[in-house]
Amino acid sequence: MSDVKKVVLAYSGGLDTSVIVRWLQETYQCEVVTFTADIGQGEEVEPARAKAQAMGVKEIYIEDLREEFVRDFVYPMFRANTVYEGEYLLGTSIARPLIAKRLIEIANETGADAISHGATGKGNDQVRFELGGYALKPGVKVIAPWREWDLNSREKLMAYCEEHNIPVDFAKNKKKSPYSMDANLLHISYEGGQLEDPWVEAEEEMWRWSVSPEAAPNEATYITLTYAKGDIVAIDGNAMSPATVLEYLNKVAGANGIGRLDLVENRYVGMKSRGCYETPGGTVMLRAHRAIESITLDRESAHLKDSLMPKYAELVYNGYWWSPERLALQKLIDATQDDVNGEVRLKLYKGNVIVAGRRSDSDSLFDASIATFEDDAGAYDQKDAEGFIKLNALRLRIAAKNGRKMS
């Protein structure tokens, strides 16, 4: 007899998690609570209710978390200008701590003693879900079916569905994408299929959110983003909520061929993985945020942020969103954003995000009277540079006098 009486499952309503519902019921003889999150994946989530009900699930949670996702996870991450391994904007990674948080909250609400997910034993998501779960509820039991069962192929999963009368919308003759995909408001990812050969170019038909740069309009699109404390609060003068901002940027950037990425990344579990990503709105957000910081942040604050960013990105990628070190870094990052206010004007053109202007009426540190190439009326004494240079060269001159080799 299993000691698990009730388990909360992160449930999409798709093939894998539908099989997991029945497998949990039979293997653990337990009650299953399903949790389906709408984080902007672009698919109707309500049908998951009928599927769960058909398998005898009595407690069903379906929640619209789009605003919370962008406000409390995407926006804080972009305040840090976060990029993993120089390219990846962490679209999948940043969604997992929110799902883990709700899994634990629902477990507490329903009296469940376990949580479950459909992540495989080869990927990063198992780590992200479970690290989040343990951080928020140390004693929770985690059930990861892909690490326990032998249903290791689509054919075996389909056979299990047929044998157990599981209602899934996967007819054998129905066309299915050859790729493993994950989507939310920040991005859509593609893995598997022909992408497993890193030499093979991704087919044009694969992309869903963006046109190719070649097919993008021949005229540029201009947009103006308004920032308050490092977050976008309006576009072209129209106030928008965080989720609405990202939805709008995805559309306008995707229409201009922006946001495609083909990447071989290093997974936390040790293997290299090739994936393709579409992050139209996020690509715009990163460029624009750096632009507004360029005139509002002090040099050393900006450089400190840049030095810490790779560590912050690694923590998000590896699943340590709820760790004390990420929380500490976030406090430092957020403290730098108090003066990151103003506007950035962007030119979107055939896959490019071009900064056309930036201004901050209240917080700009750019002083034209000092930076000018014209007569600065004594605002800057160029003679001061001589002593500055000599002092900074002192250690180099001493080393050279002592015969140290410099090449």
CATH of the domain at 109: 3.40.50.620
- Residues across the chain: 407
- Three-class SS of residue 404? coil
317 pLDDT tier (thresholds 50, 70, 90): very high
Residues 6+ apart with CB under 8 A from 254: 209, 210, 211, 278, 280
Q: Is 359 left (phi over 0), alpha (psi -120 to 50) or beta?
A: beta
- Of these residues, 38, 125, 231, 339, which one is catalytic? 125
% of the chain residues with pLDDT over 70: 98
- Residue 22 shares a structural domain with residue 131: yes
State the catalytic residue, choosing from 22, 66, 79, 96: 96
For the ranges 56-60, 127-131, 226-230, 378-382, the lowest mean pLDDT is seen at 378-382
Catalytic residue among 12, 16, 189, 339: 16
The reported pLDDT for the residue numbered 169 is: 64
Q: E-assigned strands of 20-91?
A: 31-38, 59-64
Angle between helices 154-164 and 15-27 in degrees, nearest 10: 60
First to last CA, the chain: 72
Is 406 part of any domain? no
Asked if residue 384 and residue 342 are part of one domain, the reply reads no
Active site residue 361: no
Residue 260 shares a structural domain with residue 147: no
Is residue 180 annotated as part of the catalytic site, yes or no? yes
Whether 340 and 389 map to the same domain: the answer is no
Residues 204 and 263 both lie in one domain: yes
- Report the sign of the C-alpha dihedral through residues 224, 226, 231, 234, in that order: negative
Assigned domain for 289 exists: yes
Shared-domain flag, residues 223 and 345: yes
Please state, for a pLDDT cut of 90, what percent of the chain lies above it. 86
Contact 288, 58 (CB under 8 A): no
Q: 125 catalytic, yes or no?
A: yes
* Averaged pLDDT of the chain: 94
Give residue 22's domain range: 6-78+91-164
**For position 175, what pLDDT does the model report?**
57
SS3 assignment, position 7: strand
Task: Let me know if 18 is a catalytic residue.
Answer: no
pLDDT score at 74 = 98
Euclidean distance between CA atoms 233 and 226, whole angstroms: 6
pLDDT at 199 over 70: yes
Q: What integer is the mean pLDDT of 161-175?
A: 68
Number of domains in the chain: 3
Is residue 184 located within the same domain as residue 160? Answer: no
Task: Say which of 49, 72, 113, 180 is annotated catalytic.
Answer: 180
